[in-house]
Amino acid sequence: MEHLQQGSRIDMGEKRAPTDFALWKFSPKDKKRLMEWDSPWGVGFPGWHIECSAMAMKYNGPTLDIHCGGTDHIRVHHTNEIAQSECATGKPFARFWMHGEFLRLDGNKMSKSTGEFLTVSVLMDKGYNPLDYRLFALTSHYRNYLNFSFESLDSAREALKSLHKKTDPLIGKATAIESEAAKKWQQEFKDAIGDDLNMPRALGILNSVLKTDLSDGEKAALVLDFDKVLGLKLDQPREEYAKKQDPNAIDDTAEIEALIAERTEARKSKNWAVSDRIRDLLKEKGVEIKDSKEGTTWKRI
């Protein structure tokens, strides 16, 4: 506290010490604010710390079980919430605090104020599914910095594709979790979540389960159980959620086969421009084709 410089950022106003914070702020005398109220102390509005305590107590009672927020809130905002709330009630304000570290872009904090930030809609415009980003985020513990790059996002997309290759064949096969081995894996996953939301470890357990010799029924049941937490939509084949994400995707297999047949004829007549145009069109619609001596094969991407 000896390093605090009182009044360096804003005027001290009614503060009597540099560690004071405003419970009530006074409206400028010559201005009418959009939100202001009369009070025993004068016309004004609540300080932002007291806003949070008031809302938390109104909707959740005097003590919160879990309070979340960014690490930048620890030093001032959450400290002040504790001070005012516990002075008001005489009870602990929160039992657990979970502070998330920043998402970084090229090593710098992602922030609207600096203009250095991305939105999910931007990623979608670039052809990514939001679930690709979700898996990317799950690969790091929430208390650690996560550095965003499109290379990392590409890796996450490929990892999700690979995961679906293993989980898609299990869809609809879930049975009860009865064997001791399966119950042990289920408990390991719960332990990982209970270990301060250790999501990288939880993902590792999921991948380990898929490599075991458990029955398909128990594997499927564990996947569904784990995905209640992971939220990767592993109960749907990747092809299905990819089509939902891309409204331009071709749903009809017959349409794909017809375009490939048209392209094959174009190749026979050495009309490479038409051949390339159809290939590009299929790729835009989420279909990848591969030519070989045996003919042309395709798959959804």
Instruction: State pLDDT tens for residues 62-72.
Output: 999 999 999 99
Q: Which amino acid is at 250?
A: I
Domain at 104-243: CATH architecture? Orthogonal Bundle (1.10)
Say which range, 98-102, 111-115, 202-206, 258-262, has the weakest mean pLDDT.
Answer: 111-115
pLDDT digits (tens, 9 = 90+) for 29-52: 888 888 999 999 899 999 889 999
Is residue 10 pLDDT above 70, yes or no? no
Q: Which residues contact 29 (CB under 8 A, 6 or more apart)?
A: none
Where helices occur in the chain by DSSP H, the ranges are 48-60, 79-89, 120-125, 130-138, 150-167, 180-194, 199-211, 216-230, 238-245, 253-268, 272-284
The whole model's pTM is what?
A: 0.68
Q: How confident is the model at residue 133 (pLDDT cuts 50, 70, 90)?
A: very high
Q: Is the pLDDT of residue 244 over 80?
A: no
- DSSP 8-state assignment for residue 116: B
- What are the beta bridge partners of residue 147? 104
Domain ranges, ordered by start, for the chain: 47-100, 104-243, 248-300
Tell me the pLDDT band of 288, cut-offs 50, 70 and 90. confident
User: How much of the chain, in percent, has pLDDT values that exceed 70?
Assistant: 89
Confidence of residue 300 (pLDDT cuts 50, 70, 90): confident
Inform me whether the pLDDT recorded for 285 exceeds 80: no
Sign of CA dihedral 51, 52, 53, 56: positive
- Residue 262 has a pLDDT of 87
Q: Check residue 115 and give its pLDDT.
A: 57
SS3 call for 274: helix
Say how far apart CA 251 and CA 243 lie, in whole Å.
Answer: 7
Of 58-67, 250-259, 265-274, least confident by mean pLDDT is 250-259
The DSSP bridge partners found for residue 37 are: 44
pLDDT of residue 265: 86
User: Which has more confidence, 203 or 239?
Assistant: 203
How far apart are alpha carbons 168 and 236 in whole angstroms?
A: 7
